[in-house]
């Protein structure tokens, strides 16, 4: 046995792996992946997952990543979406080796379509949509599929001028009896008269997804094509198309879609929200778009680690947003300035204040400098903290001094006891009353609860913070002490990132 079948005795070593699982048939230096979004909307977390996986695999094997706009339906596509997706990808830090548009290969696609028709693997069908879908369900062929070559060629040529949209389509000659409905003579090309965002009126016969993707992946040299698993049934078609065209076949693999609970990515759901003004736009911090997450204070590296932590599986996942937050917190913590901020402010007077200013570290560990806060004995503290204060309590105003409460109620009064640090007593943050800065804190919550729009998904809190806030740039990440991380979104508004 050992001499005759040594390979049977070789056991592959089991070892813990980090990152994505290895790819089959992947040769170092020869892997080509691709990220093929349709420019029909703003990029979101789902795009991020796909792009990161594509890039990571290319990196893992020293290969390359092609960024390709699958823009073959002018009805949906707009120039601004091409730009938005590119901006999103760049923000994520996904590096690609080549950018292209499927629409730039139309001549090639026509050539392949003709080849298909010539060789009898496709025919032009002039039946109406209802008939076609009825035939598919009932597994019967229509008369068009029996038309001869000259008829098909004539009709094909007519698709470029005579026929109106919906009057004729090119269909793949599949198998109307196939168990796989995707194989029952699916559409390959159709007529669309809408001007294309790039090519305007130059073309009106457009390939559909299955035809375009298969050809593009093949000619682009893609070795491993990843897509979400709802496409799984179309693999047979994909391979069949390339087989008939005698073109090289990439390996297609599927992964589970990524979506957060209560945070839909579908345009069908999001568009009405934007139109009805229920969210402020596609960058509303409650949304799972990249722009929204950026505004909210989520950093690209956190998204990457998160995506990788989900691995490459086909099982349906209810993504744990808290895990993303945890990764994010660890990344932004070292660079987030610490500031004092109070919500539901309550006046707090220290009667025997004897100080005019105090110097405070901007970060407990990292050297982020110091700031000087002017004080005069009049402060604000958070309503939340004020509620628990009773006359006689001793607390410490963080970084300042210890005080004893002498009057509670709507306005609090206190007296300094001493300045020594006492670990046991409560410590609360404060804001100087004389030059407190008014800000709004936007707190995004889950958008949908039980499929219903959550009317309370955005909480807006009025708050006061230190004047030093004014010196920070928009985009700065701040940790409001004892409150949480927020990102400065504009001069007087911050967005709550997470605790």
The residues in 364-383 that bind RNA, with binding defined as CB under 7 A, are 364-365
Stretch that binds RNA, among 132-140, 196-204, 403-411, 469-477 (CB under 7 A): 132-140
Which of 95, 154, 330, 351 contacts RNA by CB under 7 A? 330
- Which residue, among 144, 230, 136, 146, has the nearest Cα to 184 in the 3D structure? 136
Sheet holding 412-416, edge to edge: 427-428, 394-397, 402-407, 412-416, 345-350, 378-382, 431-432
Instruction: Work out whether 200 is an interface residue with RNA (CB under 7 A).
Output: no
Shortest CB 280 distance to RNA, Å: 26
**Which residues from 245-304 bind RNA, rule CB under 7 A?**
256
Shortest CB 330 distance to RNA, Å: 4
**Which residues from 89-108 bind RNA, rule CB under 7 A?**
none
Shortest CB 157 distance to RNA, Å: 17
User: What gap in Å lies between CA 306 and CA 12, rounded to an integer?
Assistant: 29
432: which residues sit within 8 A by CB, 6+ positions away? 373, 374, 375, 376, 378, 379, 466, 467
Instruction: Work out whether 472 is an interface residue with RNA (CB under 7 A).
Output: no
Shortest CB 479 distance to RNA, Å: 6
Residue number, 63 or 186, with CB nearest to RNA: 186
Residue number, 313 or 492, with CB nearest to RNA: 313
Q: Are 361 and 372 in contact (CB under 8 A)?
A: no
- Which residue, among 396, 231, 243, has the nearest Cα to 314 in the 3D structure? 231
Instruction: Give the contact letters, 448-467, x = binds to RNA (CB under 7 A), - = no.
Output: --------------------
18: which residues sit within 8 A by CB, 6+ positions away? none
Angle at alpha carbon of residue 91, lines to 89 and 97, rounded to 5°: 45
Three-class DSSP category at 463? strand
Stretch that binds RNA, among 144-152, 201-209, 245-253, 486-494 (CB under 7 A): 201-209
Residue number, 233 or 460, with CB nearest to RNA: 233
Residue number, 74 or 284, with CB nearest to RNA: 74
Q: Are 312 and 483 in contact (CB under 8 A)?
A: no
Shortest CB 310 distance to RNA, Å: 4
Which of 119, 151, 181, 490 contacts RNA by CB under 7 A? 181
Instruction: Work out whether 479 is an interface residue with RNA (CB under 7 A).
Output: yes
311: which residues sit within 8 A by CB, 6+ positions away? 20, 21
Stretch that binds RNA, among 142-150, 230-238, 273-281, 445-453 (CB under 7 A): 230-238
- The phi, psi pair for 386, rounded to 5°, reads -55, -40
Instruction: Work out whether 54 is an interface residue with RNA (CB under 7 A).
Output: no
400: which residues sit within 8 A by CB, 6+ positions away? 355, 358, 375, 430
């Amino acid at each position: 046995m050992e001499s005759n079948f040594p390979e049977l005795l070789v056991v592959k070593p089991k070892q813990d792996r980090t990152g994505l699982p290895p790819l089959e048939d992947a040769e170092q230096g020869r892997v080509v992946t691709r990220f093929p979004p349709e420019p029909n909307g703003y990029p979101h977390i789902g795009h991020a997952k796909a792009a990161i996986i594509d890039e990571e695999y290319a990196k893992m094997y020293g290969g390359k990543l092609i960024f390709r706009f699958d823009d073959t339906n002018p009805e949906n596509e707009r120039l601004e979406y091409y730009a938005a997706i590119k901006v999103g990808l760049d923000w994520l830090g996904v590096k690609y080796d080549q950018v292209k548009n499927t629409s730039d290969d139309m001549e090639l696609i026509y050539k392949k379509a003709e080849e298909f028709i010539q060789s009898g693997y496709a025919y032009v069908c002039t039946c109406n949509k209802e008939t076609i879908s009825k035939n598919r369900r009932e597994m019967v062929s229509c008369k068009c599929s029996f038309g001869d070559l000259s008829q098909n060629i004539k009709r094909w040529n007519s698709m470029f001028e005579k026929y109106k949209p919906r009057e004729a389509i090119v269909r793949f000659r599949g198998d109307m009896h196939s168990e796989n409905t995707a194989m029952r003579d699916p559409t390959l090309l159709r007529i669309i008269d809408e001007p294309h965002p790039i090519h305007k009126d130059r073309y009106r016969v457009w390939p559909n997804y299955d035809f375009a993707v298969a050809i593009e992946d093949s000619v682009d040299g893609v070795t491993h094509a990843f897509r979400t698993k709802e496409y799984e049934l179309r693999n047979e078609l994909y391979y069949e198309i390339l087989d008939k065209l005698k073109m090289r076949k990439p390996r297609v693999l599927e992964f589970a879609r990524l979506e957060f609970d209560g945070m839909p990515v579908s345009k069908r759901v999001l568009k009405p929200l934007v139109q009805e003004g229920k969210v402020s736009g596609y960058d509303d911090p409650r949304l799972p778009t990249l722009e929204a997450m950026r505004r909210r204070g989520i950093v690209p590296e956190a998204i990457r680690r998160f995506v990788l932590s989900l691995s490459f599986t086909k099982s349906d996942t209810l993504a744990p947003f808290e895990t993303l937050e945890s990764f994010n917190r660890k990344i932004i913590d070292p660079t987030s300035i610490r500031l004092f901020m109070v919500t539901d402010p309550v006046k707090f007077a220290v009667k025997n204040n004897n100080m005019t200013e105090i110097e405070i570290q901007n970060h407990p560990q990292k050297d982020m400098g110091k700031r000087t806060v002017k004080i005069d004995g009049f402060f604000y503290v958070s309503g939340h903290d004020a509620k628990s204060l009773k006359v006689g309590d001793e607390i410490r105003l963080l970084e300042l001094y210890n005080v004893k409460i002498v009057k509670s109620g709507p306005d609090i009064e206190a007296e300094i006891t001493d300045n020594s640090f006492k670990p046991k007593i409560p410590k609360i943050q404060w804001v100087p009353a004389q030059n407190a800065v008014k800000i709004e804190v936007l707190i995004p919550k889950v958008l949908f609860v039980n499929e219903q729009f959550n009317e309370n998904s955005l909480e807006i809190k009025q708050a006061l913070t230190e004047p030093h806030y004014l010196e920070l740039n928009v985009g700065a990440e701040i940790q409001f002490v004892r409150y949480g991380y927020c990102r400065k979104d504009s001069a007087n508004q911050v967005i709550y990132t997470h605790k």
